[in-house]
DNA sequence: AACCTGACTTCGG
DNA sequence: TCCGAAGCCAGGT
């Protein structure tokens, strides 16, 4: 039973619905590791293409893409815009509007 | 084995 | 407003 922290991160990211974004810190908190936002980034950076995890729906706390230009930024932005997410001035995503609010059941 | 570095976030000075 | 440190942890040097 693979219940390591990375599997948890991946599982949580997989539950972010299209057209919504979550922050690294948010994913970390949901995984029970409130101070492990960096680990989420590390985990996503080490994903294999066949893992089929919607990594592009994770942005930083400022509502911006953390990947540098030329190193994934354009790809992530295109994927998000394709889901209807609008980027405002300064490459900013309005988290009040597009932020994911996980349903507690 | 020690030390550094990340697709991070928050808090203090 | 800007800068550094802490907290977490796997990999690379």
Structure token pair of residue A101: 């609010």
Residue A23 vs residues A1, A2, A11, A50, A93: alpha-carbon distances, Å: 27, 24, 15, 23, 11
Structure token pair of residue A8: 């948890």
Residues of A 9-68 whose CB lies less than 7 Å from any atom of strand B: 23-25, 35, 37-42, 44-45, 47, 55-56, 58, 60-62, 66-67
User: pLDDT per residue over A48-72, tens digit each?
Assistant: 888 899 999 999 999 999 999 999 9
Global pTM exceeds 0.85: yes
How far, in Å, is the CA of A76 from the C1' of nucleotide C8? 25
User: pLDDT per residue over A21-47, tens digit each?
Assistant: 999 999 999 999 999 999 999 999 999
């Amino acid at each position: 039973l693979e219940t390591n922290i990375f599997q948890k991160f991946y599982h949580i990211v997989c539950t972010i619905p299209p057209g919504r974004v979550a922050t690294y810190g948010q994913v970390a908190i949901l995984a029970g590791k409130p101070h492990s936002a960096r680990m989420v980034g590390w985990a996503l950076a080490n994903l294999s293409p066949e893992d089929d995890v919607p990594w592009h729906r994770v942005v930083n706390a400022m509502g911006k893409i953390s990947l540098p230009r030329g190193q994934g930024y354009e790809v992530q932005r295109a994927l998000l815009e394709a889901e209807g997410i609008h980027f405002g001035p300064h490459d900013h995503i309005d988290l009040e509007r597009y932020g994911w609010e996980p349903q507690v059941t």
